[in-house]
C-alpha cells in the first residue's frame, strides 16, 4: 500500500558537538521518505530550487521513492542552519531561508489522489488542509506540526485536526497546543478534537502512544554514539506509517509494532548526518535492532 507525503526538502547545515554537516540534504519529507521506503512505496510532494540537482535526487530515487511530485521552481532550495549542544535535545536555529518554499502550493498529481495513506508533514496547516482537499481517496490521514504553527495559526490547525486520524507531535508541542502540562490529559483533549491516535514524541526519552483508551510507552534505543538528531522525528514517522502501510488498513492499526519500527528507524537516523546511515540500512540490521528493542523493554510477570 502506497504512502503520499507532503512536506519540505531542504539543505541543512548542522553543527553538533561531534562534527558538522554542511549543506546536507534535509527536510521533513526527505527523512520521512527515506525511512518509509524500506516498508512501502512512497510518493513525495515537495518543492526544490534549481540548485537541487540530479545528484541530490539520486539517494531517494535509488530507494525507490517516487519523485513525480517533486517540483523544481526557479530559485534556491529551502535552507536551515542549526546547532545542537551536548544535550542533543533541541537545536538552536541559527538561520532559516524559505527561498522557493515560501511560495509552495502543493499540487497533487492526478494519479496520486487516491493514495490510501497520506502523511501531512510539518507545513502551514492551511496548506495541509488544501492537500487534504485534493487527496480524496486517502483512507488513513496522519499529520505532524510544530510550535511555529501552534503559535501563529491555532485555528487552522484545530480545523485540520478534525480531519486527521493520527497526530504525531512532540511533548513540548502538545503541551503548548493544549495548555495542559500532563501528557495523558493533553492527549485526551486532542483526541476530543478529532485524531483517535496520538503519538507523543519525546526525543531521547522515546514515544508515548495513546490509541483510543490504550496507552503504549516505548523508550528510545540507548545509543552510545549519537552524531546528529536532525530528522529523528521524521524517520520515526516514516517507519511508523511505513509499517502500517505494509500491514494494510483492513484490521485494527498495529500501532505498537509500528512504534517500534519507527523507533528503530529513528535510532539509525541519529547515527550519522542527514540520512547517511538510514539509506545504507540492511534488513538484517533493521530486524536486529527490532529484536534489541524487545529485549530492552521486556518485563516478566511477577512470580
| Helix 255-269 and helix 283-297, axial crossing angle in degrees, nearest 10 | 110
Options 94, 103, 215, 249; binder of a second copy; rule CB under 8 A = 215
Please give the grid coordinates belonging to residue 228.
546528529
Query: What residues from 253 to 282 belong to the interface with a second copy (CB under 8 A)?
Result: 256-257, 260-261
Pattern 101-140, a second copy, x by CB under 8 A: ----------------------------------------
Q: Closer to a second copy by CB, 17 or 137: give it.
A: 17
Size of the site for a second copy (CB under 8 A): 43
Q: How far is CA 200 from CA 16, 137, 146, 157, 215, in A?
A: 24, 27, 12, 17, 11
Query: What residues from 195 to 214 belong to the interface with a second copy (CB under 8 A)?
Result: 202, 205-206, 208, 214
Q: Enumerate the β-bridge partners of residue 211.
A: 197, 214
58 binds a second copy (CB under 8 A): no
Options 93, 176, 185, 253; binder of a second copy; rule CB under 8 A = 185
Q: Closer to a second copy by CB, 45 or 209: give it.
A: 209
The CA distance from 244 to 286, in Å, is 16
Please, are residues 84 and 75 in contact by the beta-carbon 8 Å criterion?
Answer: no
CB 179 to a second copy: min, Å: 10
| DSSP codes, 149-194 | HHHH-HHHHHHHHTT-SEEEEEHHHHHHHHT---HHHHHHHHHHHS
Residue 271 contacts by C-beta under 8 Å, 6 or more apart in sequence? Answer: 223, 225, 226, 227, 277
CB 171 to a second copy: min, Å: 10
CB 155 to a second copy: min, Å: 25
Please give the grid coordinates belonging to residue 146.
510544530
3-state secondary structure of 168: strand
Pattern 218-247, a second copy, x by CB under 8 A: xxx-xxxxx---------------------
149-175 exposure pattern, b = at least 16 Cβ within 10 A, e = fewer: bbeebeebbebbbebbbbbbbbbbbbb
182 binds a second copy (CB under 8 A): yes
Options 54, 55, 74, 86; binder of a second copy; rule CB under 8 A = 86
Main-chain phi, psi angles of 262, to 5 degrees: -60, -40
Q: Closer to a second copy by CB, 16 or 122: give it.
A: 16
CB 87 to a second copy: min, Å: 6
Options 181, 250, 251, 284; binder of a second copy; rule CB under 8 A = 181
Q: How distant is the alpha carbon of residue 111 from its chain centre?
A: 24
In the DSSP assignment, the letter for residue 113 is T
Q: Closer to a second copy by CB, 71 or 296: give it.
A: 296
Binding site for a second copy (CB under 8 A): 17, 86-88, 181-185, 202, 205-206, 208, 214-220, 222-226, 256-257, 260-261, 287, 290-291, 293-303
Amino acid at each position: 500500500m502506497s504512502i503520499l507525503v507532503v512536506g519540505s526538502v531542504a539543505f541543512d547545515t548542522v553543527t553538533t558537538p561531534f562534527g558538522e554537516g554542511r549543506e546536507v540534504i534535509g527536510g521533513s519529507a526527505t527523512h520521512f521518505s527515506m525511512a518509509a521506503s524500506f516498508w512501502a512505496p512512497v510518493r513525495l510532494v515537495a518543492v526544490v530550487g534549481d540548485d537541487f540537482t540530479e545528484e541530490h535526487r539520486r539517494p531517494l530515487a535509488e530507494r525507490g521513492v517516487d519523485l513525480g511530485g517533486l517540483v523544481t521552481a526557479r530559485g534556491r532550495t529551502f535552507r536551515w542552519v542549526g546547532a545542537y549542544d551536548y544535550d542533543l535535545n533541541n537545536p538552536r536555529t541559527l538561520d532559516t531561508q524559505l527561498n522557493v518554499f515560501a511560495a509552495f502550493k502543493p499540487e497533487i498529481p492526478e494519479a496520486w489522489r487516491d493514495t490510501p495513506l497520506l502523511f501531512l508533514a510539518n507545513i502551514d496547516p492551511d496548506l495541509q488542509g488544501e492537500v487534504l482537499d485534493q487527496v480524496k481517496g486517502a483512507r488513513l490521514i496522519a499529520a505532524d506540526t510544530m510550535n511555529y504553527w501552534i503559535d501563529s495559526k491555532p485555528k487552522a490547525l484545530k480545523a485540520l485536526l478534525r480531519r486527521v486520524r493520527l497526530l504525531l507531535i512532540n511533548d513540548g508541542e502538545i503541551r503548548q497546543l493544549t495548555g495542559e502540562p500532563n501528557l495523558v490529559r493533553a492527549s485526551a483533549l486532542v483526541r476530543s478534537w478529532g485524531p483517535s491516535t496520538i503519538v507523543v514524541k519525546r526525543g531521547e526519552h522515546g514515544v508515548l502512544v495513546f490509541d483510543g483508551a490504550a496507552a503504549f510507552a516505548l523508550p528510545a534505543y540507548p545509543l552510545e554514539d549519537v552524531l546528529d538528531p536532525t530528522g529523528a522525528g521524521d524517520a520515526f514517522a516514516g517507519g511508523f506509517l511505513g509499517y502500517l502501510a505494509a500491514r494494510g488498513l483492513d484490521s485494527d492499526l498495529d500501532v505498537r509494532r509500528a512504534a517500534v519500527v519507527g523507533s528503530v528507524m529513528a535510532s539509525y537516523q541519529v547515527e550519522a548526518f542527514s540520512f547517511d546511515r538510514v539509506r545504507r540500512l540492511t534488513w538484517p540490521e533493521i530486524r536486529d535492532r527490532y529484536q534489541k528493542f524487545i529485549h530492552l523493554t521486556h518485563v516478566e510477570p511477577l512470580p
